[in-house]
Amino acid sequence: MVGQTIPPPASSPAGNDPPASVIDLSVAAHQAARQLVPNQTVRQFTKYVLSGLVTFALDIGTTNLLVFSLDVPAVEAGYVGILVALTNGFVMNRWWTFRAANGHLAPQALRFLATASVGGILNGVVYTLLLTHWPIHFNLAKILAGAVGAAWNFTLMKVWVFPPTTRRVSSV
C-alpha cells in the first residue's frame, strides 16, 4: 500500500543492514555454483562458455551498431567488434572464469592474445580441412572447428594465461 513501510529483515533487528550488493549476489551465485557443480574444471568450463556467449554477443552487437547506426563499413565495424570482444573476453576470463586478478596484467594480456591468435588460426585450419577433405556442411564444420578452438583456448587459459598461482583462494 502507498505510504506503508516495509519492515526490516529478521537478521537486522535495527534495520541498519545495507541492501544486498552486487558483491553479495556474486558470492551467493558462486556458492550456489560450487554446490551444483562440485568439479572445479567443469565450473570453470561452464563460466568459460558463458563468457564466450557474452563476448560473441558484444562482437556481433558492436558490429551491427556501427554498421546500422553509424554507417561504418562492415569490414571496419567487424574489426572494432573483434577488439571489443577480445577485451571483454580477457576481462571476464581474468576476473570471473579463472579468478586470476592477482596475476600481472601485461603478461596475462600478452599470453591471452597469443592463445586467442593461435586458437583462431587452429579454428580456421580445422574448418578448411573439414570442408576440403570431407563431405560436410559448412555450418557443421564451423561448429566442430569452433569446438577445437574452444578446447585449445580453455586449456591454455587454465594452465598458462591464468595459471593457478595467480588465482584467488576460491578459484571458481
Q: Where are the domains of the chain?
A: 40-99, 103-164
Residues 6+ apart with CB under 8 A from 126: 141, 144, 145, 148, 149
Count the helices and strands in the chain (H runs, E runs): 5, 0
Q: How confident is the model at residue 167 (pLDDT cuts 50, 70, 90)?
A: confident
Helix (H) or strand (E) holding 106: helix 105-133
Percent of the chain whose predicted confidence (pLDDT) is above 70: 80
pLDDT in tens, 54-113: 999 999 999 999 999 999 999 999 999 999 999 999 999 999 999 998 889 999 999 999
Q: What's CA 128's distance to the chain center, in Å? A: 26
Say how far residue 81 (Cα) sits from the centre of its chain.
15
Name the pLDDT band for 27 (thresholds 50, 70, 90). confident
